[in-house]
Amino acid sequence: MFRRFIWLQWRSFFRSASFGKSLGIKIFMAFMGLYLLASLGFLGGALYFILRKVVPTQSPMWVVSQFLVYWVLAELFIRYFMQKLPVVDIKPLLINNISKSKIVNYILGRSIFSGFNLLALVTFVPFSIVVLTKGYPATNVLLWLASLFLITLCSNFLNFLINKSDIAFGILLTLLLSFWGLEYFGILSIRDLFAPIFHGLYAYPFAFVVPLLLLILLYFLNFRFLKGVLFLDGALKGKVKAARATELTWTKRFGEMAPFLQLDLKLIWRNKRTKTQVWISLLFVFYGLIFYTQEVYANMPVMHVFLGIFMTGIFLANFGQFIPAWDSAYYSMMMSQNIPLRKYLESKALLITVSVVVMFLLTIPYVYFGWKIVLVNIACAVYNLGINIPVILYFGSFNKKRIELDQSPFGNMQGTSAVQFLIMLPVLGLPILLFTVFYYLVSFEAALTILIALGILGYAFKNTLLNIVTEQYATKKHVMLEGFKQKNG
Amino acid sequence: MIRVHELSKKYGAQEVLNMEMLEIPKGQSFGLVGNNGAGKTTFFSLLLDLIPPTTGYIENNEIQVNKSEAWKPFTTAFIDESFLIGYLTPEEYFYFIGELRGRNKADIDGLLANFEDFFHGEILKQNKYLRDLSKGNQKKVGIVASFIGNPEVVILDEPFANLDPTTQIRLKSIIRELAAKEEVTVLISSHDLMHVTEVCERIVVLHKGEIVRDIQTSTETLKELETFFAG
């Protein structure tokens, strides 16, 4: 039986509609995936030596054990967002001559082969090998490794149990933050609290039965739960959220643009992919912290321009690059209606404008790292408003890939094509290039002035630019329509 | 009202539609029948300028549809679910279409009141997004949306498919009422010979992209069509 299931899985992979299409993106994704795994593997291999150097007084095994609690929580956190138990595709099996237990075992069994379970293996296998060559006892190390893998599997199955509940997510987030907070402010060392537990798995190797038993328990709970809901109106049913009609009457003041603005706002709030995009964009405000806090970058205005363009323009990039593919599902309706294409585009431009302003306001606290940073961010925001908005709208007319709105954006390359990568060149590259040239040839002030001047110029000619864009959309209409019709493109 | 001139549509070497001439006078209720792949949806898509013609053109009220967009204000259509916006509630969708066609909320509410029977209490005030409605109910929304804004040309692709018997009967009387108005031209395609013969004054049969029959509906029409399709 299990062989049949594997055969089915194999077919579904190679025959999926998107297989073979957009090979470039697939290769890119595969490359990124391999890169991630390779980095983790490298980290695992180097970990022993790093720890020896950083904390020479403690055994690396002990230090690793200290941090494992965070590893486990972080892994659960990532899984919560990115890993779902795929159940829908087993619908056709339900009425066939296969017992439910087998189906459930199949669903749960195949989740073991998820890429998420590789993370721990890839990191800790090299680490264990290094540790073994350093003369640590083999039984202890190997069984410790086995325990870690069992723990990974535990979080695999735990995730499926808690995945549907927002409360579980809240608890997870609070735990992670409060642990970190307690640690940071030196109130309580969570590391020291949990270290003996994880170290115990190494010191008393046969403790691996504990995670093993936990795994069996979690598997059993999953099994029982899934078997109970394996009905069309149970797990196999898509979630239906009660709709809340909203009026958004305040948009009326935008006149002819109002219906589109309302539509765009609803588009963003009522669809998973767009909504997550907003949250991600907001989170990117913290991106600056990584660089501003480092001495190396303190006197590198070019880096600051990159950050400025990036942080104030993150929503512009994330949302803008897929215009009008967001409306791809009903683009044929839009095109058969009596709509002023111009207003449609203006509405999108307004949304992005607001986002740029908001993102700029959020970056103001970075003044803490010097007033120059705020100046750079102002220049970048103005440049984004004047130049990048028309540019990204213009490139939007090259989009012809459909987007399903209700899918998660994580690792979702739907709607992505070479265009998206090409857009980033003028959007991100050009201002940095301009700034760099003027900064080194003339001065910091001149470089800022040129960005601001270009932005203002673009804004002044906004109407002309939007007219060009509108025309472009009109000429590309049929190509877009045909592209948007292709599902799983 | 609608005039077709030497229209053809090719995909590669395959010709999916070839209409030398077709004229649909104002106020006519026009039915298009044919098997799968006969070219019905292709014709409607050409009429709405959703796909470009390979040769020839269509005129809608003397406006060439692939040259000017002036036909949009008086033409409405429901082709398939891609005409619906999944993340809106039915009410929001009606209001949105209304705004595009210059109708305010009160106008729309007035119009919707006429369709209470047709909706059968399953559409309005359900707190559901369109994407969560059943196929049949989605269709009802799309069809009614195509009546917004006093259109002069209404295009419905397969309006009877997926509807329950009661709704089919109600839809027939709605279409008949609409067609009875002098100024409204209704274009319908269907697989169901009985339904089209009941609501259309004229029926055109498409076969492999070409017009093979052009019939003024009479009591014998259904028989004639059945013999044709029986092969």
Alpha-carbon gap: A331 to the closest alpha carbon of chain B (Å) = 7
Residue B202, domain extent: 2-85+148-229
pLDDT value of residue A489:
44
Instruction: Collect all residues from A whose CB is shorter than 8 A from any CB in B.
Output: 240-245, 258-259, 262-263, 266-267, 270-271, 329-333, 335-339, 405-406, 478, 481-482, 485
Q: The tokens of A361 are what?
A: 């306001």
A336 and B83 within 8 Å at the Cβ level: the answer is yes
pLDDT value of residue A252:
78
Select from B50, B79, B92 the Cβ nearest to the Cβ of A245: B92
Q: How far apart are CA A446 and CA A379, in angstroms?
A: 11
Each residue of A84-115: pLDDT tens digit?
A: 777 666 777 777 777 888 888 888 888 888 77
| Sheet hosting strand B2-11, strand order edge to edge | B14-24, B2-11, B55-60, B63-64
For CA atoms B128, B133, B136, B140, the dihedral sign is positive
| Sheet hosting strand B29-33, strand order edge to edge | B75-78, B153-157, B185-190, B29-33, B202-207, B210-216
Alpha-carbon gap: B227 to the closest alpha carbon of chain A (Å) = 36
Q: Give the mean model confidence (pLDDT) for residues A475-479.
A: 88
Q: pLDDT band at residue B44, thresholds of 50, 70 and 90?
A: very high
Select from A263, A335, A338 the Cβ nearest to the Cβ of B96: A263
Measured between CA atoms, the residue of chain B closest to residue A248 is: B92
- Any bridge partners for residue A199, and if so which? none
A478 and B51 within 8 Å at the Cβ level: the answer is yes
Each residue of B86-145: pLDDT tens digit?
A: 889 999 999 989 988 888 889 999 999 999 989 988 899 888 889 889 999 999 999 999
A329 and B85 within 8 Å at the Cβ level: the answer is yes
More confident residue, A349 or A485: A349
Select from A241, A243, A338 the Cβ nearest to the Cβ of B100: A338
The tally of domains found in chain B comes to 1
Alpha-carbon gap: B226 to the closest alpha carbon of chain A (Å) = 34
Q: The tokens of B81 are what?
A: 């679910």
Is B133 contained in some domain? no
Is B59 contained in some domain? yes
Q: Which residues of A touch B51 (CB under 8 A)?
A: 478, 481-482
Each residue of B149-197: pLDDT tens digit?
A: 899 999 999 999 889 999 999 999 999 998 888 889 999 999 889 999 9
Q: Contact A325/A443 with Cβ under 8 angstroms?
A: no
Q: Is A416 helix (H, G, I), strand (E, B) or coil?
A: coil
Contacts within 8 Å (CB) and 24+ apart, B112-121: B112/B144, B115/B144, B115/B174, B117/B170, B118/B144, B118/B167, B118/B170, B118/B171, B118/B174, B119/B144, B120/B166, B120/B167
B85 and A333 within 8 Å at the Cβ level: the answer is yes
Q: How far apart are CA A267 and CA A264, in angstroms?
A: 5
A406 and B85 within 8 Å at the Cβ level: the answer is no
Burial of A148-176, coded b for 16+ CB within 10 Å and e otherwise, reads: bbbbbbbbbbbbbebeeeeebbeebeeeb
Number of neighbouring beta carbons within 10 Å of residue A86: 11
| CATH number of domain containing B223 | 3.40.50.300
Residue (of A161, A210, A162, A176) closest to A72 by Cα position = A176
Q: The tokens of A12 are what?
A: 């579904």
Select from A271, A335, A405 the Cβ nearest to the Cβ of B50: A335
| Mean per-residue pLDDT of chain A | 83
Select from A242, A259, A333 the Cβ nearest to the Cβ of B99: A259
Each residue of B212-221: pLDDT tens digit?
A: 999 999 988 9
pLDDT value of residue A196:
86
Q: How far apart are CA A384 and CA A310, in angstroms?
A: 9
Q: Is B190 helix (H, G, I), strand (E, B) or coil?
A: strand
Measured between CA atoms, the residue of chain A closest to residue B47 is: A336
Q: Which residues of A touch B99 (CB under 8 A)?
A: 258-259
Q: Give helix A60-82 / helix A138-162 axis angle, nearest 10°.
A: 20
Q: Which residue do the tokens 């209404």 mark?
A: B154
ipTM of the complex: 0.83
Alpha-carbon gap: B114 to the closest alpha carbon of chain A (Å) = 22
The alpha carbon of residue A330 and the mean position of all alpha carbons in its chain are separated, in whole angstroms, by 26
Residue (of B228, B227, B229, B174) closest to B199 by Cα position = B174
Select from B75, B89, B100 the Cβ nearest to the Cβ of A245: B89
Alpha-carbon gap: B125 to the closest alpha carbon of chain A (Å) = 9
Instruction: Collect all residues from B whose CB is shorter than 8 A from any CB in A.
Output: 48-52, 69, 72-73, 75, 77, 79, 82-89, 91-92, 96-97, 99-101, 126-129, 131-132
Select from A271, A336, A482 the Cβ nearest to the Cβ of B77: A336
B100 and A339 within 8 Å at the Cβ level: the answer is yes
pTM of the model: 0.75
Alpha-carbon gap: B80 to the closest alpha carbon of chain A (Å) = 9
Which phi and psi (to 5°) does residue A75 adopt?
Answer: -60, -45
Q: Is B48 helix (H, G, I), strand (E, B) or coil?
A: coil
Residue type at A283? L
Each residue of A402-435: pLDDT tens digit?
A: 887 776 665 566 666 666 777 778 888 899 999 9
Helices first, then strands: H and E counts in chain A:
25, 0
Each residue of A27-72: pLDDT tens digit?
A: 777 787 788 888 888 888 888 888 888 888 888 888 888 888 888 8
Measured between CA atoms, the residue of chain B closest to residue A334 is: B83
Furthest-apart CA pair in chain B: how many Å? 51
